[in-house]
A and B are shown apart, each in its own frame.
Chain A
Amino acid sequence: MAKVFNWHINREMDYPYAESRPEKQFAIIFNINRCIGCQTCTMACRNTWTFSPGQENMWWNNVETKPYGGYPHNWDVKLLEKLGPQTWSSDKTYTGQTIFEKAPDGKRVLGHMPTEEDWAHPNIYEDTPAGDFVESTILPEHSLWMFYLQRTCNHCTYPGCLAACPRKAIYKRKDDGVVLVDQSRCRGYRECVEACPYKKAMYRPTTRVTEKCIACYPRNDLDLGSRCVVACVGKIRMQGWLHSPDKSDPTNPVDYLVHEAKVALPLYPQFGTEPNLYYIPPRWAPRDFLKQLFGPSVTEALAKYSDPDKKLFGLLRLFGTTQTIISRFEVQDDVAIGFDRADRELVRVPLEEPFWERPEYDKKHDVVRLNEP
């Protein structure tokens, strides 16, 4: 067992392999406030990668409803139950145990193996809210609430799947941090399926090996965003190359959102895998629930998101505006500009959407404008 530093939990922890961070890390920021649950991302991934025999129950990208939904069902609460108390100190250090530290005797990782049926209903409890119905509901916390949680493989810095594989059939790429299952080396032991806290390693019974989200790395290699990112109708996703906190670049969109503005938070940091998907929490959900999901910085993140400065405001305007990964961004007086890795301008959007008001009666043509044809 090696000692590695996990900045999500602000301390060292046990991991079977030594610390080895990639040169840059594949990462996606999700703005939960904007998701409409249309599942276009899910279908984009499905139609690209998991439409073949044996993959019927595979959804590398899924969108589930919180608090009651989950694919596979109860993937999070079952593991949280086994993990025991998840406490944080006042300086935001995790004082509970990670899934590596709490590994049972004879195993490398504390995990949960779902049943076959758990995978069969990806939209279970879709749009099922919690709380009491009242006539009206206002911020900061709605009395009747639910939200969509969009999930793909987190391409963790310290993956549970990689740690659990007894034969090193899972590896993390040094250049971009993408975690992959070697299809020629896997022998279908399914230790990874049990060990991944987020349940994104999935067994394929027709080929007897395990598959997982590959971050659309063939697209990333061409500087194009992953399919789930670029297909997003609600423009809730921003993909980029994340660096560790000490190497953060404030002109890099994901570095800025995670390390500078700190509005984007990791999912279940207490598992200890240092996941690389980050979420801007929904403004209307109860804070206790959000803190269990995203850690102790929820209040500050929501405060910042609710009252953004110009730079953050501008960056939020760039979400979903280009198929290419934005490597650098700038916010000038009234525009936000995104640049690719060769520093060519990709996209330029105004901070305020232009607005024209046209009178109902057009004098010139002597006609009344109707709302629809």
Chain B
Amino acid sequence: MRKRRIFVLLTIIFLISVVLTWLNVSIATAVETEIVSEYVESDLPLADPNATLWEQAISIDVPLSGQIAMPPKNPQASASSMRIRSLNNGSWVAFLLEWEDSTQDFGGGLLDFKDSAAIQFPSEEGEPFYCMGYSKGLVEILHWRSDFQLDITEGAPEAQNIYPNMWMNNYSVGDQATFLTGQGSGNIMSLASRITPVEDLVAGGAGTLTTQPHSDGVGWGEWDSGTWKAVIGRPMITIDVEDAQFVSGMSTSLAVAAWNGGNKEVNGKKAISTWLSLKINGPKGAASETAGGFGLPYNIVFTVSWLVVLVMGSAVATWVIARRK
């Protein structure tokens, strides 16, 4: 009788775990490191960090730590965590980043640095060195910048705005692009006008960061009461060979970074995460959600597998108990 009870108990536990797995409920709590980009049918809120559509995406909180792998180092980074969530609609993918920053900084004079945040993807499969990749493992970086955003809302920086009390001479011929050498050499930092606050870059190791001639990134950031919310988005497929390419159903990786200008954070002096998993969900029931091999919808394969396990497990348990009798 006791062994019969054990058998019944085992079966019940089996059934419960099958049901829980089917419903995707975690039995044990673990640190969240997977971001699931939720599929939606509509246009993504690429310029609205406060849109209600974002609530359809599950957010995770990711710890950040100061970059100390190579100089210039930042052991006392300002941001300690970042909340990340993602939406996609099959054509565009977008990420909403939220992190704490007590001051809103846009750069300006010599000692003023800007607030910004960035997402890093491997250009190809795999997880190259999370600090900016390496020569054989390039990374694509989308960098939202508050100073570029200010250029869009207020125009390119002028000395009179940065130093309101300074006496300015007549510049005579000095306004031409030739004399604004950053502009004349095509440096993205110095554009006279710009259309996106998101820079698209590629890197293959620290010190190799290079701006792409064409930025596929769009986005917008808003700051409120000590928190930045920034949307970073781009088309899922681009023509740049160094860009990561996204397709529905794929799994890849991403890492994030944040800079607090008020803490003089710039370049390697940043708060960073390690590699996180990114799953790009497609529409539900789509053919792309196959388990592989059979070409059947994932659900059915899943159910059949579990039934097989249940039956076999019960058979084994019965045999063991019978043997002992």
Q: How far is the CA of A190 from the CA of B71 in the complex (A)?
A: 14
**Contact between chains at B110 and A56 (CB < 8 Å):** no
CB nearest to A108 among chain B residues: B71
**Contact between chains at B172 and A207 (CB < 8 Å):** no
Which B residues, 82 to 109, have Cβ-Cβ distances below 8 Å to chain A? 107-109
Contact of B207 among A166, A184, A207 (CB under 8 A): A166
**Contact between chains at A54 and B72 (CB < 8 Å):** no
**Contact between chains at B147 and A56 (CB < 8 Å):** no
Given contacts A119-B110, A167-B209, A183-B181, contact A189 B166 (CB under 8 A): no
Contact of B189 among A108, A113, A186 (CB under 8 A): A186
**Contact between chains at A205 and B159 (CB < 8 Å):** yes
Q: How far is the CA of A183 from the CA of B157 in the complex (A)?
A: 17
Q: Mark B149-178, 1 if CB is under 8 A from A, else 0.
A: 000000011110011001011011011000
CB nearest to B211 among chain A residues: A187
Q: Which chain B positions have C-beta within 8 A of A205?
A: 107-110, 157, 159, 162
**Contact between chains at A208 and B107 (CB < 8 Å):** yes
**Contact between chains at B207 and A208 (CB < 8 Å):** no
Q: How far is the CA of A108 from the CA of B267 in the complex (A)?
A: 14
**Contact between chains at A191 and B110 (CB < 8 Å):** no
Q: Mark B258-288, 1 if CB is under 8 A from A, else 0.
A: 0000000011100000000000000000000
CB nearest to B190 among chain A residues: A207
Given contacts A166-B207, A207-B189, A209-B190, contact A52 B110 (CB under 8 A): no
Q: Which chain B positions have C-beta within 8 A of A185?
A: 187
- Interface residues of A, count at CB 8 A: 35
Chain B interface mostly helix, strand, loop or mixed?
loop
Q: Which chain B positions have C-beta within 8 A of A166?
A: 71-72, 206-207, 267-268
**Contact between chains at A106 and B187 (CB < 8 Å):** no
Given contacts A56-B166, A166-B207, A189-B267, contact A207 B109 (CB under 8 A): no
Q: Which chain A positions have C-beta within 8 A of B209?
A: 167, 187
Q: Mark B131-162, 1 if CB is under 8 A from A, else 0.
A: 00000000000000001000000001111001
- 19 A-B pairs besides A106-B75, A184-B187, A188-B266 with CB distance below 8 A are A51-B179, A52-B175, A53-B174, A56-B159, A56-B163, A56-B169, A106-B71, A107-B71, A113-B111, A183-B184, A183-B185, A189-B266, A189-B267, A205-B107, A206-B159, A208-B190, A209-B187, A209-B189, A211-B181
- Which residues of A are in contact with B by a Cβ distance under 8 Å? 51-56, 105-108, 113, 115-116, 119, 166-168, 183-191, 193, 203-209, 211
